A and B are shown apart, each in its own frame.
Chain A
Amino acid sequence: MSRILPSTARDPQLVRWGLRALSILFFLIGWEILAYQLDSLLFPSFTETLIALSQLISTPTFWQALWVSHQALLIGFACALLVGTTLGLIMGRWRAAEKVFDPYLNILLATPMSALIPIIILAIGLGLPARALVVFLFAVVVIVVNTRAGLRTLEPSWVEMARAFGANEKQLWWTILIPGALPAMMTGFYLGLGRALTGMIAVELLLIAVGIGRLILDYQGAFEAGFVYATIMFVVAEAVILLNALKYLERKLTPWAGQATIG
């Protein structure tokens, strides 16, 4: 199927990045003007935010807070990857598992995970395990769903072909099922990482005031609008970099995959 637009490679890089740069420039100028119009203690201008950011990066408390937050991210996301892919593969392969877990998966997909945070704290307290569990819950569902989808959309002819050549169950998994599902799994990892980052911040903003969330709350309380925005900007930049790195990894690991659809 050919795309509707002719290959975008025809547009010189100058046009592409020029338009993007111009657009962002307009946005920043607009932001600056808006800030001066509003003249609010809560809404900083772009320059204020930049200054705050430069100060922020040079304070050790910022990096400590970052590390505290990311501990939960690392543990929670790693567990989500493990559990999510395993469960997704099981559900994708065995219809019985699918039938049992599917209704719960749909419910979890519709559940705003933030609402579960008080219950998690009730169960395991206010420490790192609770935050890691929150990150885990935010990320795991979308990983399971995409992994399962990866198995479902495998070409059945590959499985048939492998069976025709005498593959046993173990061989089927390692030579066909996992490589075949990998592109969809990577989409799941990508989406899961985004959710994990949200979870990391959400629990800190809502109930366990440590790390980055604590910083934001403190700066808000002190009406340090520039620092609030600077912290947010940093996290957003980190998210964009991490997710793009993952996209790059995805392309390197699964070069045969088609265009990923966002979902």
Chain B
Amino acid sequence: MATITRDAKLISRHPPASRAVPFREKISAFVRTTRATSLALLGGILAWEIAGHVLQFSFLPPFSAALNAMWRMTLSGEIPRNIFASLTALFIGYALAVCVGVPLGLVMGRYRKVDYALDSYLTILLASPSILFVPILFSIFGTSRLTQITLVFLYAFIIITVNARSGIKTVDSSHVEMARSFGASERQIFSRILLPGALPMIMAGLRLGMGRGVRAMINGEMLIVLIGMGALLRQYGSRFDAASVYGLLLVVIGIALLCTSTIQWIEQRVTRWTM
């Protein structure tokens, strides 16, 4: 073998870095990432408390006043009763939205003719200021809980359908071709290729739908004041009782965050393979 000129010396190797990360390090990493969030939130709460006492604006009671109001309303049973009413409407409406929206979106994504027939409704529903559904539903169902449930359903179902449809439409066609080449039936293509492929977008739609559902719940209850957290908000709002409104908001936002986080958690578990 002819000579190969070398003009850099061979440096001895360092041992390869170990890849295993001890559990302790994982915990400290988690603390580090949530530390910023917690600090920011605590800072905000502190600023709120101080501003409330110092500025004495009627619309900005201190944070402690909001907590007090929340506690008071919990003890009196106002919050527990109305949370129950709100959440039943929310969960029923949302469940219906998922059961109707996902299959509908899948079908619309898969079959063009169905898509053409129904997409005008989606466009209109998507573009409309959703609060306008309330007077319409009120004129059909009156003040029954059906109005609330249908409202939640409508708000959530639109985004769930749109996302499911989008999910199907963006599945890689080469995967479908591959399945066909192995003789897959329509049903198999649907369950083994289309559904898993569309899953990330479907889950995103479910998460967004939950957020919209909560808003529907509140909007509906604020406008048709009977029961529910929205009704309470309207009552205390019309008395301009800012502390109670904030207290209620803390609960409502807490519920909203809890619900969407749950869906998000499921979303991450289910779509792990896309990471």
Interface residues of A, Cβ cutoff 8 Å to B: 1-5, 8, 11, 15-16, 19-20, 22-24, 27, 38, 40, 42-43, 99-104, 106-107, 109-112, 114-123, 194, 197-198, 200-202, 205-207, 216, 220, 225, 228-229, 232, 235-236, 239-240, 243-244, 259, 261-263
Contacts and interface: CB of A to CB of B under 8 A. Distances in A.
A20 B119 contact: yes
B105 to A, nearest CB: 11
A198 B130 contact: yes
B151 interface: no
Contacts of A200: 129
A216 B116 contact: no
Interface string B18-50: 000000000000000000110011001000000
A236 B132 CA distance: 8
Given A111-B253, A236-B127, A262 B163 contact: yes
B218 A4 contact: no
Count class of interface residues, chain B: 35 or more
7 contacts: A2-B173, A8-B112, A16-B116, A115-B252, A118-B233, A207-B238, A244-B127
Please give me the 4 A-B residue pairs with the lowest Cβ-Cβ distance, nearest first. A118-B237, A112-B218, A110-B256, A123-B59
Contacts of B234: 206
Contact of B219 (A11, A100, A101, A114): A114
Nearest to A219: B135
Contact of B40 (A99, A118, A232): A99
Given A114-B222, A122-B240, A235 B166 contact: no
Nearest to A190: B127
Interface stretch (B7-15, B67-75, B241-249): B241-249
Contacts of A122: 58-59, 240, 242
Nearest to A2: B173
A1 B173 CA distance: 8
B128 A112 contact: no
Contacts of A202: 129, 131, 219
Q: Which of B126, B128, B169, B248 has the most CB of A within 10 A?
A: B128
A116 B168 CA distance: 38
Contacts of B142: 42
A2 B174 contact: yes
B256 A103 contact: no
B256 to A, nearest CB: 4
Contacts of B256: 110-112
A99 B37 contact: yes
B83 interface: no
Interface in B77-136: 109-110, 112-113, 116-121, 123-124, 126-132, 134-136
Contact of A4 (B134, B159, B169): B169
Nearest to A239: B127
A104 B44 contact: yes
Contacts of B37: 99, 102-103
A197 B128 CA distance: 8
A261 B163 CA distance: 8
A198 B131 contact: yes
Contact of A201 (B120, B123, B129, B166): B129
A42 B117 contact: no
Given A4-B173, A8-B112, 16 more contacts: A4-B110, A22-B117, A23-B120, A99-B36, A107-B253, A112-B256, A115-B222, A115-B249, A118-B245, A122-B59, A201-B132, A205-B135, A207-B238, A225-B139, A236-B124, A263-B204
Contact of B162 (A19, A225, A262): A262
B178 interface: no
Contact of B117 (A20, A107, A116, A117): A20
B127 A243 contact: yes
Interface string B194-232: 100000010010001001001101110011000000100
Contacts of A23: 116-118, 120-121
B245 A112 contact: no
Contacts of A2: 172-174
A110 B127 contact: no
A207 B37 CA distance: 35
B65 interface: no
A261 B135 contact: no
A109 B264 CA distance: 14
Nearest to A237: B124
